[in-house]
């Protein structure tokens, strides 16, 4: 439920059937600039989660992930939105591996995308930086791991983001006290994680869930992930859906 006094405005390609008090909906594509402009008018914060969430053809990635994100950022800047939260992905950094010295991988490690999809997420991070510099609005990029009810593999346990922590991460990101430009790992407080928590701490994100609670349910051998962060994305043919 939205907090008291808050209106949650939703934009999706299909109209929701379960709106509650304090919620309203706009229907349309993120690539439709007129729809996007109407949706962000009067907003304090915009949480941009729309896009193709896996590998796809180059033209589709450009249209939806790049064009759609630019439409959101530009409309938000024109409307005077305070904060824009952009859903990035761990695949923006997919060719990074676990540091051999045991250190944690920084939230803002330079992009090493593993696919057209990963490249698009690295690109929208850069777009967010440009809009922050030009217009002064706060932009928070979330390099999301694996968001699901529970992890299914040891690999997933390292990068798991619980739904509850996803909500806590968004709430932290849109807080009025958060200003500037940030790139943050979207991950829970997993015992096996090798991602830094510094970026999240800087915006007040305090994850509460640990994938270790599901350790007994994971059947994959308990070994280090042997390939780069992006896993199969690093070897899958470019543009081919997994």
Inter-residue contact 92 to 125 (CB < 8 Å): yes
Give the domain CATH number at 141: 3.40.50.720
For residues 95 and 231, give the distance between their C-alpha atoms in angstroms, rounded to a whole number: 9
For residues 162 and 63, give the distance between their C-alpha atoms in angstroms, rounded to a whole number: 29
Give per-residue pLDDT as tens, 45-59: 999 999 999 999 999
Is residue 15 assigned to a domain? Answer: no
Q: What is the DSSP letter of 218?
A: -
Is residue 61 assigned to a domain? Answer: yes
Residue 105: name the closest of 113, 94, 114 by CA. Answer: 94
Q: Specify the pTM.
A: 0.94
Number of domains comprising the chain: 1
Give per-residue pLDDT as tens, 162-219: 999 999 999 999 999 999 999 999 999 999 999 999 999 999 999 999 999 999 988 7
Of 117, 131, 205, 214, the catalytic one is: 117
The b-or-e profile of 29-51 (16+ CB within 10 A means b, else e) is: bbbbbebbbebbeebebbbbebb
Q: How far is CA 34 from CA 31, 40, 48, 125, 214, in A?
A: 9, 10, 16, 23, 45
Give per-residue pLDDT as tens, 15-28: 888 888 889 999 99
Active site residue 205: no
For residues 77 and 10, give the distance between their C-alpha atoms in angstroms, rounded to a whole number: 18
Is residue 167 assigned to a domain? Answer: yes
Counting Cα atoms < 13 Å in the Cβ hemisphere of 195 gives 31
Average pLDDT over residues 120-147: 98
Bridge partners of 146, per DSSP, are 160
Secondary structure class of 58 (helix, strand, coil):
helix
Is residue 66 assigned to a domain? Answer: yes
Q: What is the domain range of residue 104?
A: 47-234
Quote the percentage of the chain above a pLDDT of 70: 95
Is residue 109 assigned to a domain? Answer: yes
- If 0-12 CB within 10 Å is exposed, 13-18 middle and 19+ buried, where does residue 189 land? middle
Which residue bears the tokens 């390099």?
143
Is residue 6 assigned to a domain? Answer: no
pLDDT attached to residue 17: 85
Inter-residue contact 58 to 79 (CB < 8 Å): no
Is residue 147 assigned to a domain? Answer: yes
Average pLDDT over residues 53-76: 98
Is residue 225 assigned to a domain? Answer: yes
pLDDT attached to residue 1: 40
């Amino acid at each position: 439920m939205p907090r008291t006094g808050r209106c949650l405005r939703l934009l999706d390609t299909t109209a929701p059937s379960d709106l509650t008090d304090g919620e309203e909906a706009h229907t349309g594509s993120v690539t439709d600039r007129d729809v996007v402009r109407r949706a962000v008018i009067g907003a304090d914060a915009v949480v941009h989660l729309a896009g193709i969430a896996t590998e796809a053809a180059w033209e589709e990635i450009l249209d939806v992930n790049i064009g759609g994100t630019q439409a959101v950022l530009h409309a938000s800047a024109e409307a005077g939105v305070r904060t824009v939260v952009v859903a990035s992905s761990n695949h923006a950094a997919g060719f990074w591996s676990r540091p051999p010295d045991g250190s944690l991988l920084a939230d803002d490690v330079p992009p090493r995308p593993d696919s057209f999809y990963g490249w698009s997420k690295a690109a929208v991070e850069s777009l967010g930086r440009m809009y922050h510099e030009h217009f002064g609005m706060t932009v928070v990029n979330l390099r999301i791991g694996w968001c699901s009810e529970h992890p299914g593999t040891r690999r997933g346990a390292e990068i798991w983001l619980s739904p509850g922590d996803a909500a806590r991460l968004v709430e932290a990101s849109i807080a009025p006290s958060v200003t500037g430009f940030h790139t943050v790992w979207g991950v829970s407080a997993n015992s096996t994680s090798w991602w830094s928590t510094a970026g999240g701490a800087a915006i007040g994100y305090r994850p509460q869930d640990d994938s270790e609670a599901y350790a007994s349910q994971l059947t994959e051998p308990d070994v280090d992930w042997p390939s780069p962060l992006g896993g199969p994305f690093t070897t899958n043919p470019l543009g081919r859906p997994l």
